[in-house]
Amino acid sequence: MGHGATHQSVADIASAAMLPRSVVRRFVMTLSRLGFAKSDGKCYWLTPRVLKLGLSYLYALPFWRQAQLALEDLRAEVEQSCSMAVLDGTELVYVVRVPSRRILSMNLSIGSRLPAHVISLGRVLLAGLTDIELEQYLKDAELKRFTPHTETSPARLRGAIAQVRANGYAWIDAEFDESICGIAVPVRDSEGHVVAALNVSLMAGEWNEKKAKARFLAPLRRAAAQIRSSMLG
C-alpha cells in the first residue's frame, strides 16, 4: 500500500512486497485494528492516521523544525529548490523539501526515497559512513544505471565518495536524471557525525561544478551550520 492503486487486495500487497500472503494478512489486520487501514472485506487502503507515523519521526529529529526555517531562508537566497535528506539503508529519504518556482522534472516531497549513489545528498550521506559501513553499503546496494552518466562501478564510487570526504561537499551531474544536477553538504551533530545532508537542485547544462560551488557552497554551509547550532542548544 502507498504506491500504485489506493485499494489493494492481500494478493496485490503480497506481490508488491514480495511477502507471503499469510504474513501480509496479519500485517493489514493489525493496521486495520490500529486505525491505519480500512477494508471493505476484499481490499485494504490506508487512512490519514498513517501520517502520524511519519510526523512522529520528523518531530523526533532534533533539527527538523530548524531545518525547515533554514531551508526556507536558503531557497529565498539562492532561488533554487533545496532539500534535506537522511540515509535509510541503501536509500536516501527526503525529510525537508522546499521547491523553487522553477519546476524540475523530478516531483519529490517529504518521504520520497531515491538510491543514494546517484544523488548529491546521497553521496554526502555515504561519505559520512565509516569505512566498514561503506563497504557494507557497496555490498548491499544495487548500483543501478539510470543515465549514461551514472556511476555503477564500486571501485570508482568508492573513490568518488573519498573525494566528497576530502572536499566537504558532493557534486553530481545527470546521474539520476539527465536534466538535473546538484550540490550538497553534510549536516553534523555535536560530535561531528553526519546526520543529514542539504542540497540545491539545478538544471543540468546551465551549471557546472565550478559555477555551482562558487554560487551555492557558502550558502549551503551556512544553512548546515545554522541547523547544527540548533542541536547544540
Q: For the segment 126-173, what is each residue's pLDDT rounded down to a tens digit? A: 999 999 999 999 999 999 999 999 999 999 999 999 999 999 999 999
Q: Where are the domains of the chain?
A: 10-47, 54-232
Is domain 54-232 in CATH 3.40.50.1000, yes or no? no
The reply to whether 10-47 and 54-232 are identical in fold is no
- Helices 154-167 and 120-127 pack at an angle, to 10 degrees, of 80
pLDDT tens track for 54-109:
666 666 777 788 888 999 999 999 999 999 999 999 999 998 899 887 655 566 77
- 10-47 has which CATH code? 1.10.10.10
139-176 per-residue burial string, b: 16 or more CB within 10 A, e: under 16 = eebeeeebeeebbeeeeebbebbeebbeeebbbbbbbb
pTM of the model: 0.78
